[in-house]
A and B are shown apart, each in its own frame.
Chain A
């Protein structure tokens, strides 16, 4: 218990003193997770709309696959991205490995199933007549899909929040494809991992507390958007 208290105090000390390295790591965590979430949302929400409204052969199987991928192990994604972007790999020439971009790619892959699946779920909850209504009132197909998405906005924002949560807590693939490089690809989660390795348990806990606080702040903001 004593350790937890020390950790809590240390966390506040780090925040208040605005320890530069911790700030940098925190902002990087936020930036990478936010970028991943934005990219994934921009893709998954419209695609979710398309999947929901159009029938095609294998639709049911696709939805099953998406839901199975919710529990995609992060090490698998990390390994996949590593093998793809390593210099010996097909996309090696881009030199993306061990950069924040690689972490973003990994996180986007990880949260896409969640965002897609939850968006589909959200859209299923919308009254079927809404689309007919929208079309009848003169909307194009895309406008109608967008209108339904807007009707489901509460649940869709919830999906985005969930995606963000998943992204910011990512550690396995982030270490493997980011390299946890100080000042470049180190984020809160990977820093925690390192400090545990070094035996700095209280510092690791403190970073963990900061991570939770960060998630809390982001959540509060997202909730405000959700409520309006």
Chain B
């Protein structure tokens, strides 16, 4: 459906997209994942014809979209985009949702019917006469979605559609997106930085980092076989704990965190307030107090376990909160359960102390 060939884009002397090559199949849900500033928005905008790339080509259904002027409008009308911070027109909800139909010249009767149906779908029935600007964030997002979907686009582009929304709204919008994909057969290209959302919705995912499309594949592939450290890192979180240095012996720093001592390497002196950072993947869990070379070993209780792809996030209480990341395999082998007592250990060298 969409083919992007060798796309480069330079903005303000900075290369924002570096050689993007990807093919998105008809009817699939393709999720672009990556940190903020990676270039996801730019890529979507280029596909939606709102920007011209510095070089490269984009094909829509086999036709090149960026050089055929007559075709451009037609193709643009077969796509729709929901922006990150949607802006609605200063008009009624009805006028807003009817807009795409109006510009395409639909008859009043059809507009009335379609808008009514659409408002019902996004659960905004009864809002027709209200001024769209005065609604809440979630409601505005639903209007934006309604606007995008009402013209029955073949490709729906979404840029972080659920950022800053409450869980109920997120649920509704995700449901609508999937509905639209399944019922209308629309191709969905969605950008998000929420890994779990990507996993829930995607048929395939593309990891975009610093302008490069590092890996493309099913969510499973990406979790089990991250192409490089960066991908792996992006899909995880970090531990940051507050504490006070109690002692420093030749660089070995003892930090008091909620009564327990964490050993790390730094030049901070006694009495200084510091932050202790530990990557979840550097934490090892074991069922017994086995002899390890790690200088940090704490008994802990499992509070929560969330399965995220090939990994499991284990939230621990030591009593300070700690997030460990272990493979599903290990979790299964150890038969970890919520409430279980385990031992968390990590090397002093894995502890980053910052001021």
Residues of A within 8 A of B (CB): 127, 129-130, 132-140, 143, 147, 150-151
Contacts and interface: CB of A to CB of B under 8 A. Distances in A.
A129 B100 contact: no
Nearest to B82: A136
Contacts of B263: none
B283 to A, nearest CB: 43
B73 interface: yes
A134 B148 CA distance: 11
A130 B99 CA distance: 12
Nearest to A140: B73
Q: Main SS of chain B's interface residues?
A: loop
Contacts of A133: 83, 86-87, 89
Interface residues of B, number: 24
Contact of B89 (A132, A135, A143, A147): A147
B50 A132 contact: yes
A135 B49 contact: yes
Contact of B81 (A136, A139, A143, A151): A136
A66 B202 CA distance: 53
Contacts of B100: 137-138
A151 B73 CA distance: 22
Given A136-B80, A140-B73, A127 B87 contact: yes
Contacts of A130: 87, 89
A150 B91 CA distance: 10
Given A138-B104, A140-B103, A143-B103, A129 B80 contact: no
Contacts of B85: 129
A84 to B, nearest CB: 40
Contacts of B315: none
29 contacts: A127-B87, A129-B83, A130-B87, A132-B45, A133-B83, A133-B86, A133-B87, A135-B49, A135-B50, A136-B50, A136-B76, A136-B79, A136-B80, A136-B148, A137-B80, A137-B99, A137-B100, A137-B151, A138-B80, A138-B100, A138-B103, A138-B104, A138-B151, A140-B73, A147-B89, A147-B99, A150-B89, A150-B91, A151-B89
